Structure 1
Amino acid sequence: MAELAEAAGVSAARKFALATGGIAPMPLDDAGISTAGRLAEAVRTLAYIHDQVLPDSSSDKKKTIEEWGDALRVAADLMVAPARFEYWQRSQFDTMLNDLVRDSQGAGDPESAGDPESAEDSASQVLLTFADVRALLKMGLEGAKSKARMDVGTILVATPGQLAAVPYRVVCILGLDADALPGSRASGDDLIPTAPAVGDRDPRNEARAELLAALIAAQDHLVITCASRDVRTNNKVPESVMLDDLLKVIAQTTGLTVQDLQGVEPSQGEGEGDTGAFTVMTTHTRQAFDPKNFSVDGGEQPISFDPAACQGAVALLNSQQNQPVSNQVFMSESLPADDSATATVELTQLGYFFEAPVKTFFRNRLNVYIPKASEASASELPIKLGSLDASEVGRALLELGLTMPAADSVRFVPDEGPTQPQVLALHNSLRARGLLPPESLAMPQLSELSADVSNLLVEAESIGVRRPAPHAHPIDLRLSEDTHIVGSVGNCLDGDRPGPLRILYSRPKPKHQIRLALDLLVLTATDPSQHWRGVLITRPESKAKTTVEQRSWSVRGATAKDRQSEALGALKELLEQYKDGLLYPLPLFQQTSYAFFKNLKPKEVWGTPGDTYSDYPKECDDPYHSLAFGSLSYNELFAAQFGEFNFTTESNRLWSVIEDALTVENLETAEEPSEDDTEEDE
């Protein structure tokens, strides 16, 4: 066991080791292999260009203009490709290089420019550095400059400053967003703002002058467009400071409030201070088929006149008006059975299904995948670990702690920092990946995380279940002539009470119990001679007073035959629900169904659709649930019928099977198998 622990520690140290230059290796999944291959090919191509195409030390990094032209053409062939319908860019690039070579050849004696014998004396033979060529290319890539004509055409595209003192009936300012305006922070390479002086440029005041020029130029209308919501997440984005200043000036001029100008309900009572006619800000929908685009309020004309979008709006209203919840679901009938999908069921796939039944249906049967909104990379150093980053660090510490000899090896105090080499390597790896704040800010929080992990390991060691066996138990269980379960169960304990052990840096969740129950059932059904026991050790509930929560289950039954019969019966019922879930999206939800079965405030667990004040996403706003059942409140979910299935039946169907098949054990006073049990096993 000591040798295995030492080998595991070496493996963990290699996992968290940094690459050349102190760079943290980035783990890749199957989908990222192709991207990594393309990146490697780009790096190899860039290295080839640097070594073969660009100048080397033998020529003192200088080439003639003709040699530079050939080198740049080769680099363009290898590294860049124009987009569709933009092939003219490459032709223009080649033309520019040819013009440079031709102009340089004619820069010497014009009479001998075409004479090959005098080519050695022409300007094209002058050796140039890459900086010289870049300066020559810059002039050709800038494009031809032209002066804006303010007196021609019915539509003019220009900066607002160019419109000063030129009257126009309508002036439109496009994209007055916060990220499009100059900020107060200067570039790190700009040293002038560090020592301001009278006469220096002020980007903010210059931007305000541009807006003032547009205001003066507009005779009838001034239209300003800006983004009110993020295009990826649909979350509200803050308005620009300049737009807020403009609204304040308009409010002071008209005697109204900024809320009235924005169309917000006035603070006065109903019938008092009706300022709707003075609203200057209108929020437009992002979808062209939104019914709001075709509604007429106050006798005004609709926003849109698109006939195709209007038909879509009518169809949307007809599908939502006076329709029961059961008619708003994604499917009205079940799909035909697919015997090939259920003939051989993998244990991991069975666990994924009961963890997210609706998501599994869409992915496995319909090949529908809803991507998550990618989080933007932070541009500033973090000063505190977020909840997700803290969980990731905690899981990494726990994974490392399971391989170390002492349970408290991962614990450290903030003043000293990590002392164990493995913990220090993990610390450096996390810092290289950009997860950790500066050391002085990160150490107190990392110390708390290490204490939580140490408590988990100490608790596991105190009850003698810290180190699972290194091998996995294979599963090949045939439940009927046309269905059998295959897979393996790893991280199991040996000894008198073997079984799966799960030590998790997580709060207890229903999916943990489901996964452990499936492992126990298949192990008991495969080998009933062993009195299998599942152990789950997690962090406690957020409001609990303890530091660790431990639970243990085993399959009911006094003898091996009874336990096997109980396990097979439970697995058959779970397999039937699994097969139904591949034919139709079942109204079965990991947390809400468990809360309903246990009577633990399921309405709060389900949440309110569209609630933006929740600390974390609720199951009612899950994109797969919304796609399958629509936007439902808990009362609507409770009363609705989805095809042949409903929420209450499916919730009881799952958890009653698990509760009836398993019994809770006390880890400290777990009873050994009885003599009758031992005789039956023999």
Structure 2
Amino acid sequence: LVIADRGIRDVSDGAELLIALLKLIGSRCSVEDSLAVATHQLVRSHYGLDDNAIEVWQRCIERTRIRWGIDGPRRRRDGLDQPGLAAHTWWQGLERMLLGILLPDGTPEAALGGVVPLTGVDTADIESIAPLLSIVRVIDALDCLVNNDQSVGVWCDHFEQTLIQLIGDEAEELETVIYELDQLRRVATETKVPYHDIKTILITTLTAAVGHQPLRTGAITATSMIPLRAVPFRVICVAGFDEDVAETAASDHDNLVERQQLLGDSDPRVNLRRGFLDCVVSAQDQLIITCTGMSVSTNATLPLVTPLAEFIDFIGRHGVPLWDWNGEQFSNVEVFHPRHACSQRNFRVNEIRPDIIWSHDQKALHVATALGEPPHPIMAEPISAAPRTLIELSSLSAFLCDPLWPFVRETLAINPWRNDDVEIPATLPLMLSTYEQRELRDNYIQGYITSEKSEEFEESWTQAVRADGDVPIWGFGEAAIEEITGFAQAVVKQTDEDGLPLIKRQAERVRVEANDVQISGTLEFCQDDPMSLILLHPSAKNATQFRRSKYLALAQLLVAMVAGLPVKRAYVYSQHEKWSPGAVDDKGKPRKAVMVREVTLEDRINRQDSQHLIEKLCSLYQQAAVSAYSSFGKTAADFLTDPKKSRKSFSSFITYASYENSLEVVVHGRSPVFDDVFSDVKKQKAFFNKYLALTRFKPRTNIYSPE
């Protein structure tokens, strides 16, 4: 397959890099445009960058919240006249990365030059971040020149030197670019021109179609209609000749001639017909035209695009007969064939055209034959995985919350979290996402609790997050700061009143054994009350969010009892769902900031019972690790008692928006079938009878009561 109508950028990686560089320089320098240059294959090859280095870049860029602008003063050309505002710029982000490597992690506070070091950066990351620093420095040097007019020759020298710094002077891909720059130098004068003019000329040159089109290659040539005039071809196929092609798109540039059509101007509709006519007269043996004939939604016959309909009328007047199809008459040259190449109609005589089999694709025939067989239930087969010898408490609690967790997260090693590759906008953030605020809050609470001088810590932390852009600027982040600091004060006060001061919280590592499986984890309790576990989970605001915390508390209580610890209860401290600074209830009273939930075991459960329960849970965990057991919300519970109701629960669960983020969608896809998921009735009931009995709490309480 040969592709014609391609510009220089399509056949030269060096030209592609230069175009990306020209678009970046003088712009807002967004993350997407900057990485288009920094991660170009030529740049990566020159600096020896691998995928791990790019991952380090992306992680650090996200954590430093770089948005746009190389530095504060240069934002003025885009309308932001605040040179002292360095938040979310490239240089501030890079300085934070470097200081984070050089300085040890500690309390967030301004260091050298008022820059707050980025925490959690390893010294080994310097090998990845150093090339990014060099690349940004090269881009910065060229970007500083855009405000001054230069002669064309000087501009070309700057571009050439910048490319050499980015990809080296021995790169073969530079030849095409240097040739184009030399051509521009040769015809230019010493008149100084602005950067925008030279940028427009170069981009137009590098994106324009080359003069010689490879049409006589003997291969299939994909091209536009432009080069077909007076060039004979044996077979021509006009692909996708639909309404979208014939529509006159609205002009999005400053060409006033195209914006306003006057008498005597070129008509796009006439140009389309002329191009189509060139295709018709250039075909020597056969002309094939494809278009969408049936509506995808209604399966109704769609009208042909106007030039094609006129062509059908023309050949009809010159002797082409009509034929009947679905009660309508069509020209004998019109063929209605299935949209899919694997349709069985393509391989039957008289289905598409009289006396012939339409398709000759053997691979498509094989697929069509297989599709004609009765469907087999799609059921995840057991995987012969080695039995677990060690289960972490966090894994056990995740299994108690969702039986699919061991199969998806451990056996398949799939992390279902995804951000759908959201593009980082080139704007200043004026609000925090839920994830960003949660990270800020958790880090602040940890530092606030351990700080000897809480007021000084609060002040230094507030100044740091304002300076480094962790909270929105211009006062938009003050509400988040007030909420985070207010909750920290409230939870410390609440735990002190409960006799469980967080400052005296200590962690103890425990390990117990059940059925040759060791369960290991960390328990946190107060020195003043060894009978109470403390779980500080601010995000567990509503019942759904609290569910994971509740099962973690349950797992810790069972393991603590097996280990012989005198633990009787677990307190979960979280932020109240309806609280915010200054919020009041219906009676005008201030709402409580902290919600305390107590999780306990039923009084009848002793150490021996806990041992048996842990053994049964570990046995179920091993089963769930080798075969998928999907609960689909309440479907599994209803499946044991009311099969008809379980089908309704199943249908409801897969229609919720949250299904896209569930583990079930990883295993069964977006359109699961109830009979396929629960095809092995005996096996499913045997598992879920035990699972639901072992994970049962008393209704509307947090008291664990297994059956």
Give TM-score, length-normalised by structure 1: 0.55
Q: 1:652, CA displacement in angstroms?
A: 2.7
Task: State whether residues 170 and 221 of structure 1, in contact with CA within 8 Å, keep that contact through their aligned partners in structure 2.
Answer: yes
Q: 1:526 to 1:292 in 2, by over 3 A?
A: farther
- Supply the AA of the counterpart residue of 1:504: S
Structure 1 residues 533 and 623: CA distance shift in structure 2, 3 A: closer
Structure 2: distance between partners of 1:207 and 1:572: 76
Matches within 5 A, 1:44-59: 44-47=134-137
Q: Shift of residue 570 of structure 1?
A: 1.7
Distance 1:390 1:598 in 2: 42
Contact 2:562 2:608 in 1 (8 A): yes
Q: Is the 8 A contact 2:416 2:663 kept in 1?
A: no
Equivalent in 651, 654, 673 of residue 691 of structure 2: 654
After superposition, the Cα gap between the structure-2 partners of 1:274 and 1:649, relative to the gap in structure 1 and judged at 3 Å, is: farther
Structure 1, unmatched stretches of 5+, are 1-14, 82-86, 108-122, 230-235, 237-242, 255-271, 406-419, 667-682
| Correspondence for 1:607 | 651
Cα distance in 2, alignment partners of residues 493 and 250 from structure 1: 84
Gaps (5+ residues) in structure 2? 1-61, 67-84, 98-117, 281-286, 313-324, 449-460, 579-584
2:502 aligned with 1:469 = yes
Aligned to 1:21: 86
CA RMSD of aligned residues (A): 7.0
Give, as a single letter, the amino acid of the residue that structure 2 aligns with 1:469.
L
Provide the residue aligned with 2:603 in structure 1. 557
Helix, strand or coil at the partner of 1:582 = helix
The answer to whether residue 327 in structure 2 is matched with residue 284 in structure 1 is no
Asked if 1 retains the 8 angstrom alpha-carbon contact of 2:557 and 2:569, the reply is yes
What's 1:335 paired with? 384
C-alpha displacement of 1:335: 0.6
Aligned pair 1:567/2:610, yes or no? yes
Q: Return 460-469 or 72-81, whichever deviates more.
A: 460-469
CA contact under 8 A between 1:500 and 1:533: conserved in structure 2? yes
| 1:110-509 correspondence runs (5 A) | 145-146=210-211, 158-160=223-225, 172-174=238-240, 184=250, 186=252, 190=254, 199=262, 210-214=271-275, 222-224=289-291, 274=327, 284-285=339-340, 298-300=351-353, 305-315=360-370, 317-318=372-373, 321=374, 323=376, 325=377, 328-331=378-381, 333-336=382-385, 338-339=386-387, 342-358=388-404, 360-367=406-413, 374-377=420-423, 391-392=434-435, 395=438, 399=442, 425=466, 429=470, 431=472, 461=494, 469=502, 471-480=505-514, 482-490=516-524, 495=529, 498-501=532-535, 502-504=537-539, 507-509=542-544
Checking the alignment, whether the CA contact within 8 Å between 2:500 and 2:529 is kept in structure 1 is no
SS of 1:520 mapped into structure 2: helix
Secondary structure of 2:510 counterpart = strand
- Mapped pair 1:74 → 2:164: yes
Query: Is 1:634–2:634 an aligned residue pair?
Result: no
Query: Quick one: distance in 1 between partners of 2:350 and 2:419?
Result: 35
| Partner Cα distance (1:129, 1:564) in 2 | 85
State the alpha-carbon separation in 1 of the partners of residues 427 and 156 from structure 2. 47
Query: Which AA in structure 2 matches 1:329?
Result: M
- The DSSP-based 3-state class of the residue aligned with 1:349 is helix
Structure 1 residue 524, shift from structure 2 partner: 3.1
One-letter amino acid of the structure 2 residue matched with residue 617 of structure 1: Y
Q: Deviations over 1:135-188 (max 9, x none)?
A: 99889857884377999999775544677899998552459797998864735x
Q: Secondary structure at the match of 2:423?
A: coil
Shift of 1:247: 6.0
Q: Secondary structure at the match of 2:610?
A: helix
Counterpart of 1:172, as a letter, is V
The residue identity in structure 2 corresponding to 1:22 is A
Q: Percent identity?
A: 13
Shift of 1:565: 2.5
1:516-566, Cα deviation, whole Å (9 max, x unpaired):
32222223333532322343758789xxx99998753212236xxx53233
| Separation (CA, whole Å) in 2 of partners of 1:42 and 1:23 | 16
Asked whether the 8 Å contact 2:228–2:278 carries over to 1, the reply is yes
CA contact (8 A) 1:554 1:662 kept: no
Tell me the distance in 1 between the aligned counterparts of 2:122 and 2:365: 42
Matched, 1:584 2:624: no
CA contact (8 A) 1:294 1:310 kept: yes
Q: CA deviation at 1:365?
A: 3.3
2-side partners of 1:179 and 1:456: how far apart? 63
TM-score by length of structure 2 reads 0.53
Q: 1:519 to 1:145 in 2, by over 3 A?
A: same
1-side partners of 2:417 and 2:292: how far apart?
29
The question of whether the paired residues in 1 share the 8 Å contact of 2:417 and 2:661 is answered with: no
Q: How far is the alpha carbon of 1:396 from its aligned partner?
A: 6.0
Deviations 1:278-315 (A, max 9, x none): 99987734xx7676875778344777533234334434
| Change beyond 3 A, Cα 1:343–1:156 | closer
**Number of aligned residues:** 539
Query: How far apart are the structure 1 equivalents of 2:427 and 2:249?
Result: 19
Aligned partner letter, 1:223:
T
Report deviation, 1:499.
2.0
Counterparts of 1:508 and 1:616, CA distance in 2: 15
- For 2:238, give the aligned amino acid: C
| Structure 1 residues 403 and 137: alpha-carbon distance in aligned structure 2, compared to 1, 3 A threshold | closer
C-alpha deviation, 1:655, in angstroms: 2.6
Instruction: Sort the Cα spacing of 1:401 and 1:370 in 2 relative to 1 into closer, same or farther, 3 A.
Output: closer
String of CA shifts for 1:616-673, please: whole Å, max 9, x gaps.
426999443227xx964335544524xxx7333322322311227999459xxxxxxx
Q: For residues 304 and 157 of structure 1, what CA distance do their matches in structure 2 show?
A: 22
